[in-house]
Amino acid sequence: MSNNAHILDLLQAAATKDPYNNLLAIATKWKNEGVTQVDVYLRFTDLLTCTPTTAAYYDHVLDAMDEIQCGVYNGGIYPTVLSNEEISSAKG
């Protein structure tokens, strides 16, 4: 799936009445499909690059990204905390 398709999926989830839970559902779906934690996080980052901070769903995207990054022990969907070093390294 291309970045544009990922962004479209996320935009569609963000445009719903429950953007936070729908964004998390997509992240969980990707996790269950074997997408790595850092790759899911970067897909959400791609969405932020084309989202104005005034968008109604902007904070929901950030909150979902916290759930992706923080690890299951802090309420997240992945078992470990994703470090800033891992994110930076994956960006290249």
Q: How far is it, in rounded angstroms, from Cα 70 to Cα 72?
A: 7
* pLDDT tens profile 59-78: 999 999 999 998 776 678 99
Q: What percent of the chain lies above the pLDDT cut of 90?
A: 73
Give Cβ neighbours of residue 1 (< 8 Å, ≥ 6 apart).
Answer: none
Whether 30 has a pLDDT exceeding 70, the answer reads yes
Q: How far is it, in rounded angstroms, from Cα 44 to Cα 27?
A: 9
Domain of residue 13: give its range. Answer: 3-91
Q: How many domains does the chain have?
A: 1
Give pLDDT, residue 2: 52
Query: Mean pLDDT throughout 36-50?
Result: 94
Give pLDDT, residue 50: 87
Query: What is the DSSP annotation of 18-44?
Result: SHHHHHHHHHHHHHHTT--HHHHHHHH
Confidence of residue 35 (pLDDT cuts 50, 70, 90): very high
51 in Cβ contact with 8 (< 8 Å): no
